[in-house]
Amino acid sequence: MPAEFFEPLNNKGTPPVYRYFNGSQWVESKSGKRTQVFSPIDNAVVGELQVVTQEEIDAVITKSVEAQRKWEATPLYERVKIVHLAADWVMHFEQYLSELLAREIGKTISEAKSEIKRTAELTDYFADEVQSIRGETLDSDNFPGYDKGRVAVIGRAAHGVVLAIAPFNYPVNLAGSKIAPALLMGNTVVFKPPTQGGISGLHLARIFEKAGVPEGVITCLTGGGSEIGDYLVSHPKVNMIAFTGSSDTGMNIAAKAPMKQLLFECGGNNATIVFPDADMSLTAKEIIKGGFSYAGQRCTAIKYVMAPQGVLDTLLPVVLEQMKELVHMGDPREATTKLVGPVVTLKVAESIEKVINEAIAEGAKVAVGGHRKEAYIEPTILTNVKPTMKIVSTEVFGPVISFIAINDMNEAAEIVNGQRFGLQACVFTKDEGTGLKYSELLNVGTVQINGSPQRGPDHFPFLGVKQSGVGVQGVRYSLLAMSRLKPVVINKPA
């Protein structure tokens, strides 16, 4: 069944050459250029992606513009039915997509299955929630100086063409979280998957096509950011950009997309702050899960832990002991591997190794890990880390956690607030009142009390401040973001 369903995507070669979707057909680019996708597990070629031309981009976006008005005019119940069917197809191919995801980006098979299942559930939830969105009316005489002569009928309208850019670490889920709400609110979608993760992204585009999305309503263009990214984000016919990726890339996109609607989720570099009364066993478990899931390659990963030195001395042995049970590095396709497989490429692994070694040279101590073998970075905990070190001031996208001793809790808040990132932070204390009060000091999008940072549950608001993002996501919030208010004012005759 998967071979038949996904048959148009590639040429059946070894390695397979994948096509892009122009809105009606799966075709190869006239550029003749391709990008190889290597598995981080063994560096084998998973497949090759097209690098589309600017002319092909223009043709696709023109088709998207032409399809948008008719799609927005399609009754909502029909759009809902299509998106529900897409969710069903995602779940139907759970095993197939999970195995592909594990091979392509090195996610453990359990984490890959979780991503696929979550994508199906999220897509369904979007389709249910959109039916509860309502407009409103306002009377003019609510404001001083006006009589009852006017009524504003306030509905919601689609933005138009939405460019959806997904990251390598969740190429299916964070594509679906953009595509589904954009379609439901009447937009057409130009989907640019990441290079690493692009093959999985193409499969998701095929699922929406097979679910019944009309011609031109969804398209899927492949090529690296340096090859097609700048042209796409600056295209005059793109009305909105929904992006997940690094803060540096996000700022670069924003500079090239003036006056476009933006919905960005960028870097995290999240802190954990541990009060002396915290449950050390719970804290250790959440630090391990938060820091090492998918080898630390998540914007919501824990990157550094702060507490007075005495608290760190108590906490560290508990963390190290629990790691023996909760963490096992290995081939992500093996059931025995827990949390930590390879990072996404050998080049990334080498850059992480370099930052670890720089921290050690500046006085950091290795409590566990610290070594690299090919694209695998050992789950690493560093102590004696200073907040000025690069390993803290930059977002290290790997399985590395830094322990920082502080003099008092106000110092921890100052360190968090001094970062250019502001996605999430977590606070561990048995006194929830203390946690609530302390959270007021932290300039981040979300504070987690007695839990690790995470995106979810998916109907909760998810946002970043400073250089961690623009706009608010989460099921209802994403649907609202994918549309705009459109007041129509009825002026009654005198």
Residue 119: half-sphere exposure toward Cβ, Cα within 13 Å: 36
Residue 209 carries which DSSP code?
H
Helix 94-105, helix 76-92: angle, nearest 10 = 70
Partner residues linked to 298 by β-bridges? none
From the candidates 48, 104, 209, 299, which is the catalytic residue? 299
Active-site residue flag, 299: yes
The beta-strand segments (E) located in 60-214 are 136-139, 150-158, 161-165, 188-192
Output the six-digit token pair for 361. 């040279």
DSSP single-letter state for residue 142: G
Kindly state the greatest CA–CA separation across the chain.
80
Of 56, 111, 209, 265, which residue is the catalytic one?
265
Q: How far apart are CA 77 and CA 82, in angstroms?
A: 9
Contact between 130 and 158 under an 8 Å Cβ cutoff? The reply is: no
Residue 481: name the closest of 469, 472, 494, 489 by CA: 472
CB 48 within 8 A of CB 16: yes
Dihedral angle of Cα 20, 23, 29, 31, to the nearest 10 degrees: -120
Q: Is 4 a catalytic residue?
A: no
* HSE (side-chain half, CA atoms, 13 Å) at 477: 15
Q: Which position has the token pair 């090492």?
A: 292
- Catalytic positions, please? 265, 299
